[in-house]
Amino acid sequence: MKVTAITGDITKIASDAIIVNLFEGVKSPGGATAAVDKALGGAVTKLIKSGEIKGKQGEMTLIHTMGKIKPAKVLVIGLGKKEALNHNVIRSVVAESCRYLRKTQVKEIATIVHGAGAGGIDAEKSAQAITEGAMLGLYTFRRHKSKKDENGDIEKVLIVTPDKQELSKLKKGCEKGRVLAEATILARDLDNEPGNYMTPTDLANAAQKVAADFGLECKIFEKKDIEKMGMGGLLGVARGSVQPPKLIVLKYQGGKRSKRTVGLVGKGLTFDSGGISIKPSESMGDMKGDMAGGAAVISAMRAIAELKPMVNVTAIVPATENMPSGSACKPGDVLKASNGKTIEVVNTDAEGRIILADALSYAHKLGLSPVIDIATLTGACHVALGDHYSGGFTNDQKLIDQVIKAGEEGGERIWQMPLHDDYKEANKSDIADVKNSGGRYGGAITAAQFLHEFIEDTPWVHIDIAGTSRSEKDKGAVVKGETGVIVRTLVNFVLSL
């Protein structure tokens, strides 16, 4: 599906449907909506007066034009209160609108530039939000379905402006929106694949394809390499699976003169049964998405390579399955991470932090700084924050402030959680340097404290996406299934540098 910007009169665009808007409480439409209203003989005004159109955020009213203008349908969408409008609202309402119109079997949509007039939104930002909203809102994962979607696909979205001087800004916004949306879609595709189609080897192959297509350096460390590197954590978790582990490393060199390299680390558990501490069977199938952090990091690297910021970035993804078998790691076992620290495994279902211990130690060894790690790490974070915020933990306040801001720009909310030394006590082991679970209470915090042991003094942010990596329903630019969350946050953060 292509999104592009053109100049013209939206009432004369030969599309199947057009999208216009209204703010809440407006009694008389203005701008392009007024032009459409006039061409339809005041139909929009009449619906406002009758109370059918109120302009509340997400409200949608479909009007059939009956040949009065070229487009067959007009969708009037509510933007909500003018003072609350931002690009996240635009992204959300455009996504909802495109899904609604797809059900009416349209193939081509034209839309005005939402918020760029009375809303005060920069035209480029509006075009970016419209592009992301359309592409992400219309996302479906149908790779393993034998029948086509009965609603078909929307093939094109046109952003129409009467102002020729505005066109270049709109096109720039469309291009950035496309890059960010396609990267998020890649993450969703990787996450949504069943475990038998997305093994550690498959994830490594996907990373190699991204590298080949977008000019990144890629190194895949095999099991024998991981053994030489002393990564006992990754090897310990992988022991129960017949699938060999991989350590995926992607490099982008954009800051030729810079000695600093940003590190992005993502958990790549392609399937998590819980190991010997096996999970309940209910919803275990969703654990194909336990690699969402790794998918986010790989996908963010694709977007970074396309947008070409003058920054150096290295991504590290430890990839494995966590399975029960005669050779699997057992509760009570002790593993040694690559930095020499020993880990008592008290729960094999707290495996993500064990493989991240080796990845973060490797990031520290490479001198990467700052480092951001992303992981579906704890059910405790999901319990604490629900489905709408990811949890953020840090040893550097200025750094997490930057990351949270980058998330807000991408519509991905992060709530800072505490990382006080008092919580370290829960991770103390009687027989090793640290144990891999601090117990039920404060579980997201003690998990972050565990990771902190392996990144040491490097400026670092840990983002727990256990509650945001998957959605049970369509809402705004998020669709049911894996969300691809944090891709846009990572890209925005790197661009901000």
Q: Which amino acid is at 320?
A: T
Cβ contact 290:275 at 8 Å: no
**Cβ atoms of residues 11 and 99 within 8 Å:** no
- Which contiguous run of DSSP H or E holds residue 224? helix 223-228
24 in Cβ contact with 79 (< 8 Å): yes
Walk along the chain (497 residues) and give the pLDDT tens digit of each residue: 899 999 999 999 989 999 999 999 999 999 899 999 999 999 999 999 999 999 999 999 999 999 999 999 999 999 999 999 999 999 999 999 999 999 999 999 999 999 987 778 999 999 999 999 999 999 999 999 988 877 789 999 999 999 999 999 999 999 999 999 999 999 999 999 999 999 999 999 999 999 999 999 999 999 999 999 999 999 999 999 999 999 999 999 998 878 889 999 999 999 999 999 999 998 899 999 999 999 999 999 999 999 999 999 999 999 999 999 999 999 999 999 999 999 999 999 999 999 999 999 999 999 999 999 999 999 999 999 999 999 999 999 999 999 999 999 999 999 999 999 999 999 999 999 999 999 999 999 999 999 999 998 999 999 999 999 999 999 999 999 999 999 999 999 999 99
Q: Which residue is catalytic, options 70, 279, 330, 475?
A: 279
> What is the Cα–Cα distance from 234 to 227, expressed in whole angstroms?
9
Amino acid at site 271: F
The CATH code for residues 181-496 is 3.40.630.10
- Reference 377, options 362, 367, 392; nearest CA is 392
Count the neighbouring beta carbons within 10 Å of the beta carbon of residue 196: 10
CA dist 177 and 491 (Å) reads 12
Q: Which of 239, 288, 353, 470 is catalytic?
A: 353
Identical fold between 2-162 and 181-496: no
The candidate with the shortest Cα–Cα distance to 157, out of 45, 4, 290, 360, is 4
Tens digits of residue pLDDT in 326-381: 999 999 999 999 999 999 999 999 999 999 999 999 999 999 999 999 999 999 99
Active site residue 353: yes
Residue-wise pLDDT tens digits, 128-154: 999 999 999 999 999 999 888 777 899
CB 465 within 8 A of CB 379: no
Strands 268-272 and 312-322: parallel
Model-level pTM?
A: 0.97
CA gap 180, 300 in Å, rounded: 8
Residues 398-451: tens digit of each pLDDT: 999 999 999 999 999 999 999 999 999 999 999 999 999 999 999 999 999 999
**Domain 2-162 homologous superfamily, CATH:** Leucine Aminopeptidase, subunit E, domain 1 (3.40.220.10)
Domain ranges of the chain: 2-162, 181-496
Backbone angles phi, psi at 404, to 5 degrees: -60, -40
Of 85, 74, 299, 90, the residue nearest 183 (C-alpha):
299
Rounded-to-integer distance, Cα 175 and Cα 37, Å = 31
CB 335 within 8 A of CB 232: yes
DSSP H helical ranges for 9-80 = 31-39, 43-50
E-strand spans in 55-214?
60-64, 73-78, 108-111, 156-161
